[in-house]
Amino acid sequence: MLPLPNLELPGDRLRHPDQAIAPAGFGALDPMHPQRVALRGTYDANYMEQHAPGFAPDTDWRYFNLAPSDQWMDTPLVGNESFSFHHMHPTRPLLEGRLPGLRARVFVGYAMPEGEPKIREVPLRLTTLWFFPHAERCIAIFQGLAEIGTDDASDVASLLGAVERLGQARDDAHYLQAVARRAHPTLGAIYSLIDSDLLPEGIATADPAGEEAKAPFAMEGLQGKAQYRRAELDVEMARDKVRAMGKDPDALGIRMPPPEPLPTGDALPAYLEAKLKEAQLQQWAAVDDALSLLEKGLATAAAKGVPLSELSHRGPPAFSAPAQLAQIQAASKDLKPPLELPPLVRKLYMLQETHRAGYLQAAHVQPPAHPMPAAEAAGLRDEVARAVKAGIRCFFSADFTGADFSGLDLRGVDFREAWLESADFRGANLSGAKFQSAVLAHAKLDGATAIGTDFRKANLGRARLAGAVFDGADFSDAMLMRCSFAGTQARRARFTKANLLETTWGEADWSEADLEGQTFYKLDLQGMRWPGARLLSCNFIDCELTGLDMRAAVLEGTTFVNCRLDGVMMGGAKAAGAVAVKGCSLARADLSEADLRRFNFGGSELGGARLVRALLAGANLSGARLRGADLRLALAQGALLRRADCAGANLSGIDLRDAILQHADLRGTDLRRANLFGADLARVRLDGATRLDGALLTRARTWPRLTREQQESMP
């Protein structure tokens, strides 16, 4: 049996078993296919010295044709041509149609030294059609050339693509507005998801297969539905109370409005913009109303001599389901027919739980509860002390608001879900105690010992913690807003998912603490000691971290945005995949022997930093300022140092195999015994003080090179 080709060229049919014929096919040719390689030009030593990294001067532009030469066209396509395929579909003998009559447009934003990017359009031509007859699909490829001012296109700030129908071109002003909308400081991300202003009407962008794949994972607004159901419950309770008073809730306008459908697609940006404006107006209106009420209240209080500070709610919620039920029963005893109590009882207790949950979440934002009266506090203190001494250690869900337990030995005591707002635990021993879901807002824990204590889901907002010891304690999901951690000790403590917003910090030892996934926003963390701490996937935004001790800390996947880390100690830290961007400074930081693989330092300040023996494989140091830094014996295979400022840095013995150092400043850099095998050293800046003694430069790319004039013209 002799296999025959499935496809043949009409002018070169196979007629004899030993006949050699030209291969035929409808697929795209690989860039290394002989038919294409013959057109790609000459890439020799002259090219490397004079023309790299662009195309060779003798490149035949037909090299970029994906199709075999028998399917080339003499001129570009318009976009509305007809087509037909015979016997190339599994079930249809003839497949024919017409191109949709569309054209693509592309606008390039060029970065300017000052001001906004300059927008230019790139002329495009429809050069390639790639048909998939069996799938009844076609890809249209438009090509164009955009000028760039640098060999790495670093002057290209943005690209905007659009599609138009033939004969229905939009003016340039339309696309300038589209660019401006996507650069909007608050709604830019939303506008970037909307393509209607970049597409003609009638174009469907949804992928049916993709939508079908996402359907099983859709949440369908479950959180919104839960919030709406909670509001419904509150309205139902209000209506029941009004009915119990013999009034009509509908006549009073007490009803739940229908849920407002959330717009999608093109309507979303306008909807969000309107909602933002509405929220701003409501906020100002609320401020005006509050000021008016405050002025009236102050005037009334002054006239009647009433202290306003005593009128605001403090302490646990006043709502009580039994008390409310008794009031409703008394008010409705003469109603005909009598009020149905079982459904009402269920709603009352549900509302009571809602108040309790709200108190747990927000006790720290209300005025602090008053301390318990001295006599009552002394009696409770003695009673609890006797109970603990007798082995009674369970005070589950107790109300000890404002109690005085200072100095007591409360080891292993169960305070779960207890109300302990403004309680005094100064100097107490709370080791092993259970405070899960307890309210400790405004509590005094100064000097307390709480080793291995369970604070999960507890509210310690605004609590006083100076001098407290929390070694091994668990604060997972706890509320710690507006706490001060200065002087605390929390070695090996857990803080995963704890709320640390608006906290203040100082000298404190949190060695080996677990803070995975935490967000630190605009915090001054100077003085903290975090050696060996787990800081995986944390976010530090606008934070002051100067001199922080994070030696051997785990920082994998952590992000630093606009943070100051000057002099930070991260020797031996595990920070693979971490990010430090947007103005971060690590000047004089010690990162010796740290695992910094794939770390993104893009544009950061690292002047004088120590990275001796650091692992930097695949790290991004493009644009980083490494003047005077010490990277001796670092392993930086495949690292990106494009346009990095390494002037005066010590890189002796560094492993830079396959690293990219294009345009890097290596003046005065010590590269003795460095491994530069296969490294890209094109257009690097050198001077007489650059040292390359014993460096391995095999297969390193050293062309093109900057001329003396080019180097002298640079700042």
**Can you tell me the distance from the alpha carbon of 655 to that of 611, in angstroms, rounded to the nearest whole number?**
13
pLDDT of residue 544: 97
Q: Is 219 helix (H, G, I), strand (E, B) or coil?
A: coil
Asked, for residue 6, whether it belongs to a domain, the answer is no
Asked, for residue 178, whether it belongs to a domain, the answer is yes
Asked, for residue 322, whether it belongs to a domain, the answer is yes
Question: Which tens digits make up the pLDDT trace of 680-690?
Answer: 999 999 999 99
Q: Is 229 helix (H, G, I), strand (E, B) or coil?
A: helix
379 pLDDT band, cuts 50/70/90, is very high
Q: Which of 462, 487, 512 is the last residue of a domain?
A: 487
210 pLDDT band, cuts 50/70/90, is low
pLDDT of residue 265: 63
420 shares its domain with 355: no
**One-letter amino acid identity for 528?**
M
408: CATH: 2.160.20.80
111 shares its domain with 192: yes
Question: Which tens digits make up the pLDDT trace of 413-468?
Answer: 999 999 999 999 999 999 999 999 999 999 999 999 999 999 999 999 999 999 99
Q: Give yes or no for a contact between 691 and 666, defined as CB atoms under 8 angstroms apart.
A: no
pLDDT of residue 520: 95
Tokens of 364: 């720290």
Task: Give 203 or 624, the one with higher predicted confidence.
Answer: 624
Residue whose pair of structure tokens reads 């003047």 in the numeric block: 627
Q: Is 474 helix (H, G, I), strand (E, B) or coil?
A: strand
Asked, for residue 338, whether it belongs to a domain, the answer is yes
**Can you tell me the distance from the alpha carbon of 406 to that of 423, in angstroms, rounded to the nearest whole number?**
9
**Can you tell me the distance from the alpha carbon of 633 to that of 613, in angstroms, rounded to the nearest whole number?**
5
Least confident of 48-57, 217-226, 399-408, 561-570: 217-226
Asked, for residue 427, whether it belongs to a domain, the answer is yes
The residue-averaged pLDDT of 684-711 equals 91
Q: What is the C-alpha R_g of the chain?
A: 36
Q: What is the pTM of this model?
A: 0.73
357 shares its domain with 377: no
Q: Is 239 helix (H, G, I), strand (E, B) or coil?
A: helix
CA distances (Å), origin 114, targets 58, 117, 118, 504 = 37, 9, 10, 38
- Residue 455's domain comprises 367-487
Q: Is 255 helix (H, G, I), strand (E, B) or coil?
A: coil
Least confident of 82-96, 266-280, 319-333, 410-424: 319-333
Q: Which of 487, 516, 550 is the last residue of a domain?
A: 487
Residue whose pair of structure tokens reads 């001199």 in the numeric block: 547
Count of domains in the chain?
3
Question: Which tens digits make up the pLDDT trace of 100-109?
Answer: 999 999 999 9
Q: Give yes or no for a contact between 369 and 315, defined as CB atoms under 8 angstroms apart.
A: yes
Name, in order, each residue with C-beta under 8 angstroms of 77's C-beta and a sequence gap of 6 or more.
Answer: 99, 126, 127, 129
Residue whose pair of structure tokens reads 């990294």 in the numeric block: 53
534 pLDDT band, cuts 50/70/90, is very high
Rounded to 5°, the CA angle 498-479-504 comes to 85
Least confident of 150-164, 371-385, 412-426: 150-164
Q: Give yes or no for a contact between 436 and 417, defined as CB atoms under 8 angstroms apart.
A: yes
**Can you tell me the distance from the alpha carbon of 212 to that of 631, in angstroms, rounded to the nearest whole number?**
51
219 pLDDT band, cuts 50/70/90, is very low
Asked, for residue 497, whether it belongs to a domain, the answer is no
pLDDT of residue 217: 47
Q: In the predicted model, what is the mean pLDDT of the chain?
A: 89
Asked, for residue 146, whether it belongs to a domain, the answer is yes
Asked, for residue 353, whether it belongs to a domain, the answer is yes
CA distances (Å), origin 98, targets 70, 355, 396, 488 = 22, 66, 76, 74
**Can you tell me the distance from the alpha carbon of 18 to that of 2, in angstroms, rounded to the nearest whole number?**
11
Taken in order 288, 290, 293, 297, the sign of the CA dihedral is negative
342 shares its domain with 460: no
Q: Phi/psi at 178 (nearest 5 deg)?
A: -65, -40
693 pLDDT band, cuts 50/70/90, is very high
Question: Which tens digits make up the pLDDT trace of 337-366?
Answer: 666 667 777 777 787 787 788 889 889 999
Rounded to 5°, the CA angle 280-285-287 comes to 95
Q: Phi/psi at 354 (nearest 5 deg)?
A: -65, -40
**Can you tell me the distance from the alpha carbon of 343 to that of 355, in angstroms, rounded to the nearest whole number?**
19
Q: Is 28 helix (H, G, I), strand (E, B) or coil?
A: coil
81 pLDDT band, cuts 50/70/90, is very high
